[in-house]
Amino acid sequence: MNGYGARGGIMGEIDIGDAEIAFFKDNGYLAIDRISTDEELGWLGEIYDRLFAERTGEAKGLFFDLAGPRGHEGTESLPQVLGPDLTFPELRESLYFRNAKRLAAKLLEVEALAHTGGHMILKPARFGAETPWHQDEAYWNPSEIPQSLSVWMPLDPATVESGCMHFVPGSHREDVRWHRHIDDNPLIHGLVTDDVDTSRAVACPIPPGGATFHHCRTLHYAGANTTDRARRAYVIIATAASAKRSVPAHRPWLNDEREAVAKANIDVEVF
Ligand code: NI
């Protein structure tokens, strides 16, 4: 199979079976063509647009440009909102959120999740920057080994031209690679890892309301948005238990960012 599956029933009940779970285990990603309903997408889109229009949480560091330096707000090419469910707790009751949690637990093969959070990433029309190759775990606490995956749902068509997800199958079995900040600028939150064998990468175009799942170590990328329409995506990160490392992993890029933000006197919390 090609990683596209899922059975949609009435009232937006979505399920995956053993074949999808096995595919995820082997490849570190999965794409499905439905996780929410068109009606819910309309409602989510209103909340989404409001959060970005109002730059919600900017003073607390919850709204920023993933691809641009902190302290230069106003021309974001990859704006994102962290924790939208903190502002709108009803998001956690959405079909999307509930389906994401249930399917994530199945894919992680656990009874229950320890933590779920989310963020929204916008690629503006004709201007949205690429999200370079990275592993999500490179952003996270080096003292932990998380058992975690991300659910990524577009609210607009996700195509190669608008910035759909690309994955390197099987890369979730590798260790966390060396990462650096985009443009080697630690004031830019976004990370990149070099020397990825992109000949093995698989693009996953999906319709609005579809979803991709990827393990926190799966190498992934999303291209720039060259289309005339914004590409909105809502990501839910689902974490089962995390194990403690006896020795923290060496991830100096995390400290570099904290130090650069402090030195530049930018008054935001760095997540
Ligand atoms: Ni990522």
Q: Cα 216 vs. chain centroid, distance in angstroms? A: 10
Residues 6+ apart with CB under 8 A from 53: none
Q: Among 29, 11, 10, 33, which residue's Cα sits nearest to residue 21?
A: 29
pLDDT at 1: 39
Is pLDDT larger for residue 6 or for residue 235? 235
What protein residues have CB closer than 5 angstroms to ion ligand 1? 136
Structure token digits, residue 195:
């020397």
pLDDT for the residue 68 = 86
For residue 74, the SS3 value is coil
- Contact (CB, 8 A) for 218 and 166: no
pLDDT category at 47 given cuts 50, 70, 90 is very high
Q: How far is the CA of 267 from the centre of ligand 1 (A)?
A: 25
The rounded Å distance from CA 119 to ligand 1 centre is 11
Closest among 225, 220, 271, 207 to 37, alpha carbons compared: 207
207-263 residue pLDDT tens: 999 999 999 999 999 999 999 999 999 999 999 988 999 999 999 999 999 999 888
pLDDT at 39 over 90: yes
Q: How far is CA 247 from the centre of its chain?
A: 27
Show the domains of the chain with their CATH numbers.
15-263 (2.60.120.620)
What pLDDT score was predicted for residue 241?
86
Q: How far is the CA of 136 from the centre of ligand 1 (A)?
A: 5
Per-residue pLDDT at 111: 94
pLDDT at 240: 95
Span 157-206, pLDDT tens digits: 999 999 999 999 999 999 999 999 999 999 999 999 999 999 999 999 99
State residue 147's pLDDT score. 95
Residue ranges of E strands in the chain: 4-5, 7-8, 14-15, 29-32, 63-65, 79-82, 115-123, 131-134, 144-154, 165-167, 180-181, 191-192, 202-204, 211-215, 220-222, 231-244
Ligand 1 midpoint to CA 93 (Å):
24
Is the separation of the CB atoms in 11 and 5 below 8 Å?
Answer: no
Is the pLDDT at 109 greater than 60? The verdict is yes
Is it the case that residue 83 has pLDDT exceeding 70? yes
Residue 12 is predicted with a pLDDT of 60
How many whole angstroms separate alpha carbon 22 and alpha carbon 32?
14
Judged by average pLDDT, the poorest of 10-19, 93-102, 251-260 is 10-19
pLDDT over threshold 70, residue 92 = yes
- What's the 200 CA to ligand 1 centre distance in angstroms? 18
- Range in 1-10, 36-45, 108-117 the model is least confident about: 1-10
User: How many angstroms separate the CA atoms of 268 and 172, rounded?
Assistant: 32
Q: What is the pLDDT of residues 124-165, one digit of tens each?
A: 999 889 999 999 999 999 999 999 999 999 999 999 999 999
Question: What is residue 2's predicted lDDT score, i.e. its pLDDT?
Answer: 40
pLDDT for position 73 = 65
Least confident of 58-62, 72-76, 104-108, 246-250: 72-76
- DSSP letter, residue 128: P
Find the length of the chain.
271
Closest CA to 153 of 213, 200, 81, 239: 213
Confidence of residue 61 (pLDDT cuts 50, 70, 90): confident
The whole-angstrom separation of Cα 26 and Cα 257 is 34
CB contact at 8 A, 96 and 139 = no
Please, which contacts does 59-66 make with residues 24 or more away whose CB atoms are closer than 8 Å?
A: 59/267, 59/268, 60/268, 60/269, 61/268, 61/269, 61/270, 61/271, 62/86, 64/189, 64/268, 66/121, 66/131, 66/188, 66/189, 66/190
- DSSP assignment of 189-200: --EE-----GGG
Residue 10 Cα to ligand 1 midpoint, Å, equals 31
Distance CA 215, CA 238 (A): 10
